[in-house]
Amino acid sequence: MTAISLLLVHAIALGNIALLYLVPVMFAAARYGLRAGLFAGLASSLAYNFFFLPPTGTLTVDNPANIISLLVLLGVAIVTSQFAASARAQAQRAQESARQNAMLAGFSRHLSAAAGQEELMQSVCTEIARLLDVRAILLTPSVEGPILRAAVPPEDRIDRIEAAAAQWAMDHLQPAGRGSITLTASDWLFHPLHTQRGVVAVVGMARDDGDLPIPTGHDALVTSLLDQAAVALDRMALEDQMLEARQVAERDRLRAALLSSVSHDLRTPLTSILTAAQALRQEQGSTLVDTIESEAQRLNRFVANLLDMARLEAGALPMRVEATDLLDAVSAAIADTRQALAGHMVTVDLSPDLPLVRVDPVLLHHCLINLLDNAGRYGAPGTTVIIRGRSEADAILLSVIDQGPGIPAGQEARLFETFTRLAGSDRAVHGTGLGLTIVKGFAEAMGLSVAASNVADPSGACFTIRIPDTVMIGNMTLKDLA
């Protein structure tokens, strides 16, 4: 610029030559930043003074007016440098923002293309490793501790220190490991992936050269990547749960339809068999007829259980609540299960002061005959089946006790699941696995509850229907007397 100014010194005024020196100042600031612009401004002021202000060839200034011109040139150069540097910084920030947005868009696109949870986890590790030039692993929480689910490179594993750092990150929702303030002995930096539903995973990052896993200035990018990964994993988990729920609902619907269809189809021939058996007994009185009728009655109870189960699951269970005497209910149930209780003594031990209760007598009857049928089939031959009723402060406990092997510890609640028969207990004998489920469903429909336990005297299984005080006769209404 000095050479050009020397050529033009006779053609333009000395003040205009000072303006020419602003060109390299703006170029240096815009291209290389503020420091380069300030240096160019100072160099331009010195060159202007040396070559053009008299006495030329020195840095001395004789004319005070020229001093002012020199200072103005320097000030304008500084301001111009700042403006040019600011514009350069804004352009760089815009470029970096566009680059990060493109990276985030590509990351989101790769995650959306994953077909399953395992593929999604591997995609998270692959993209983080590619975008940040790191090694990446992904772990999920479990009761045994963090479980490694994906890694890039795939041979990466973690030791106890890394597992402790990953667990700490999950528990405290904060980064842990190298570059953080916690468990810095770990070579990996772990970041938790969490949503409103909790921690879904933790991502670990490390570098082969031992440097900090997250480069300077990339914190915002890493946070955005991890947030997207957390949302994608949470969405995939919800989709899996919804699919499983739909499959369970469809399975239950098909099962209910099958139960209803089979039970209805069996009811008609069973009725005919029972009618024919009763007619044959009146005519011949053969023991074979008794066998036919007994087995038909047992099969009829199975079909009734199927129908009742279908009604329970369909929510179409009819119920008529009325005042019911528990002694009458127990006596009727014993009479209807005399075949199932053959070979057993039956002891009825009901407190004489038991009040009437407000329940559906038909549903209570079904509960009792299923419990007695269980006791008759699963109790040891020749043993006694006990029906016991006791009053407590806020409930009546009506129990049926058999003398069989009992129930495996910890499996009491499973007995009431549909089609459940536990191996290694007195619940593994032949049966449909519906009776106790129906007892539980009917009891809860009437506001009662049922529980299973083992007893020591006599040794065996005990099934107890708890009748709360809210349905006792003390709370009877006029509707109960109708």
Residues for the chain: how many in total?
482
Question: Which DSSP symbol is given to 329?
Answer: H
Q: CA-CA-CA-CA torsion for 277, 279, 282, 285, nearest 10 degrees? A: -30
Q: How far is CA 348 from CA 54, 89, 372, 458, 464, in A?
A: 131, 93, 12, 14, 14
Residue 481: predicted pLDDT? 46
Domain ranges for the chain: 2-106, 117-216, 243-314, 322-481
Is 443 within 8 Å of 449 (Cβ atoms)? Answer: yes
Please state, in angstroms and rounded to a whole number, the distance separating the CA atoms of residues 266 and 310.
14
Please state, in angstroms and rounded to a whole number, the distance separating the CA atoms of residues 312 and 424.
29
Residue 115: predicted pLDDT? 80
Instruction: Please state which CATH class domain 243-314 belongs to.
Output: mainly alpha
Residue 397: predicted pLDDT? 95
Residue 399: predicted pLDDT? 95
User: Is 117-216's fold the same as 243-314's?
Assistant: no
Angle at 439 between CA 434 and CA 443, to 5 degrees: 150
Is 170 within 8 Å of 142 (Cβ atoms)? Answer: no
Instruction: Please state which CATH class domain 322-481 belongs to.
Output: alpha beta
Residue 398: predicted pLDDT? 96
Classify strands 345-350 and 384-391 as parallel, antiparallel or unpaired. parallel
pLDDT in tens, the chain (482 residues): 666 665 555 566 666 666 676 677 677 766 776 677 667 767 777 776 677 666 766 666 566 655 666 566 666 667 766 776 677 777 767 776 677 677 777 778 777 777 888 888 898 898 888 888 889 999 999 888 899 999 998 888 888 889 999 999 999 999 999 888 888 888 899 999 988 888 889 999 998 887 888 877 778 888 888 888 888 888 888 888 888 888 878 877 776 676 666 666 666 777 777 787 777 777 765 666 777 777 777 677 777 766 776 666 666 667 889 999 999 999 999 998 888 888 899 999 999 889 999 999 989 998 999 899 889 888 888 999 999 999 988 899 999 999 988 888 877 777 787 655 554 444 444 455 677 888 898 899 899 999 999 998 888 999 999 999 999 986 444 454 44
Residue 138: predicted pLDDT? 93
Fold for 117-216, please state it.
Answer: Beta-Lactamase (3.30.450)
**Global pTM exceeds 0.95:** no
